[in-house]
Structure 1
């Protein structure tokens, strides 16, 4: 069999690997998967866009994804296996390559398909008959796919997310740290208005790593005026690791959602052995099943969030014990190497 990785955008996997070896960034699992399978990598790369690409993009994805899928369809047959790293490229690849007379095996990693356009695309393009394995990193997504498309368990793969536990590691606090610090990382489905309300009057520094060129996304996540003790900036990868290490508490504050928004912040914090307070969402249920790995609060509960943060700050031994349990869970269950092992084995089994 010949293996293909279809990506939603171009990623310099070799460049990332060079930087990772120098300690500048985490490793990328798709680089390891590519090498394990000797796979060919495909991504949109300036292909000519047709009228049909533009029309189908009204339902799902972008025209360049459909153009890339058409190009890939000319290179594959029943002797090929395609792994798509997201529905943005997965829907076009399945729709186009899945209708070939001798179609390849297709696996799609779905992140957030349970929404209107996703439901329409799944049915309109007949993807139940064109995708061999429906993969997700959060069970609400696979539960939806299973019921909506009536597909058997054998075609479902729940593969919980991973992080690079060789890059995100425990370490000493920086000499510049002046007082207790609450840290939060990421923008997707975040609720920093809640964090501001919970921490504005606390004697702590609240440091947020969250950057976007999308002003609408920033305004939705953040309060109109940030408290004096709250700051936000972009951190390079090594600085981000130090930010985690400097944290007395990591706060993962989320609005409710059905996918695993917030999972990287959770896993990275735990890999750095820091105590975590997190919002309970539908999408994070798989990651919070183990007992006492995090303080869990309800969506929108500023008082509960404040109470959980203050409790950990005032009880450092309990906080460290919680952090140790989270660290052991991430190292044993969410590191990159087993993730690649499971995914490669699944692709080889097709």
Structure 2
């Protein structure tokens, strides 16, 4: 059977097609490690990013004025005509192919179209009627939408697209994020993140209830008002990926405090810390349900509850053996259940099923 040919529409900095891939030590990771599709017997055909100052300027002007990501889809049209499936990562990359498909315009008209979505569910829940209508119009030409939490199926169903949603578990690279016994412990409680879903206010209030515990928060400049920082909390700016990994390895406890959003905000840091063999406490929300096994592979903290959060943190800091048991189980779960290899294996199976069901000629009809 020939390789499944997938046109990849995503921002990247050097992902190359199978036959042009660099040696392993020179390969570049795509967003969410999408390049791992090539390890699943898929001929992934990415579109090279805009190159040259003039090209980038023209692209930016057109996309800003139209509000639609057009560059990759237009330049990927030739590859689309040779593909079995089109995969857009993330939502914005799917809009133009969907519009063209709905209008019956080749080559996108007769190709199955899949998208990976992170934020549409939150826009459906908290956005305006115009937002929901815009998303529904985009979804009309998309055949499958991959999301990272099961709660989103019902949310998309509210605008008539529940049957298109395929939940898959988000992943981590457990070869990069891994334990290192040589890294000495420098933090009692570490919290990292810039996502708008981070609830640092609750964490700061919890820190006030634990004056003997030391907290270290890494976030973007200006995210936290210096006047609100308790004496036992230090705040630092964002660091490189390698420094971030070493920070995780150096923490007794990693805490991921979040608001309740429709998508699993905070799952990246949760899984990265778990893969580094660290004990992690994360806010228990519906979107995070797939990632939490309270007391086994991580700890659940209550939503917007500083006292409850302080109780969880204080108890685990005082129980070294339990914290180490959870940390060891976290590493195992990251390798066995939450690797990006597994994420893209599941998506590869779904893409193959889409290609098998697609007509070989004529206009492709959504199913």
Give 3-state SS (helix, strand or coil) of 1:251's partner: strand
Q: 1:224 to 1:43 in 2, by over 3 A?
A: farther
Counterpart mapping for 1:113-262 below 5 A:
113-114=120-121, 115=123, 116=127, 118-125=131-138, 127-128=139-140, 130-152=141-163, 155-172=164-181, 174-175=183-184, 177=185, 181-188=188-195, 189-200=197-208, 201-211=210-220, 215=222, 218-219=223-224, 224-228=227-231, 229-262=233-266
- Structure 1 residue 34: Cα displacement: 4.5
Equivalent in the alignment of 2:117 = 110
Equivalent in the alignment of 2:365 = none
Measured on the aligned residues, the alpha-carbon RMSD in Å equals: 3.2
Aligned residue among 35, 39, 42 for 2:44: 39
Question: What CA distance in whole angstroms lies between the structure 2 residues aligned with 1:173 and 1:311?
Answer: 26
- Structure 1 residue 83: Cα displacement: 0.7
Give 3-state SS (helix, strand or coil) of 2:263's partner: coil
8 Å Cα contact 1:292-1:322 kept in structure 2: yes
- Structure 1 residue 80: Cα displacement: 3.3
Q: 1:250 to 1:173 in 2, by over 3 A?
A: farther
Question: What CA distance in whole angstroms lies between the structure 2 residues aligned with 1:318 and 1:109?
Answer: 37
The superposition leaves residues 12-50 of structure 1 with CA deviations (integer Å, 9 ceiling, x where unpaired) of 336xx9898489999962222246422221366237469
Q: 1:242 to 1:150 in 2, by over 3 A?
A: closer
The superposition leaves residues 148-191 of structure 1 with CA deviations (integer Å, 9 ceiling, x where unpaired) of 22453xx431111000001111222634x46x511112111111
Q: 1:304 to 1:25 in 2, by over 3 A?
A: farther
Say which is worse superposed, 40-49 or 133-142, in terms of deviation: 40-49
The superposition leaves residues 240-269 of structure 1 with CA deviations (integer Å, 9 ceiling, x where unpaired) of 222112111110011111101100111111
TM-score, scaled relative to structure 2 = 0.78
8 Å Cα contact 2:13-2:49 kept in structure 1: no
Equivalent in the alignment of 2:14 = 12
- Structure 1 residue 279: Cα displacement: 1.0
Counterpart mapping for 1:21-36 below 5 A:
21=25, 29-34=33-38, 36=41
- Structure 1 residue 239: Cα displacement: 2.0
Structure 1 segments of 4+ aligned residues over 6 angstroms from their partners: 17-20, 22-27
Question: What CA distance in whole angstroms lies between the structure 1 residues aligned with 2:27 and 2:274?
Answer: 19
Equivalent in the alignment of 1:93 = 97
Question: What CA distance in whole angstroms lies between the structure 1 residues aligned with 2:110 and 2:174?
Answer: 38
Number of paired residues? 329
- Structure 1 residue 316: Cα displacement: 0.8
Q: Is 1:283 aligned to residue 287 of structure 2?
A: yes
8 Å Cα contact 1:293-1:323 kept in structure 2: yes
Q: 1:68 to 1:330 in 2, by over 3 A?
A: same
Q: 1:173 to 1:54 in 2, by over 3 A?
A: closer
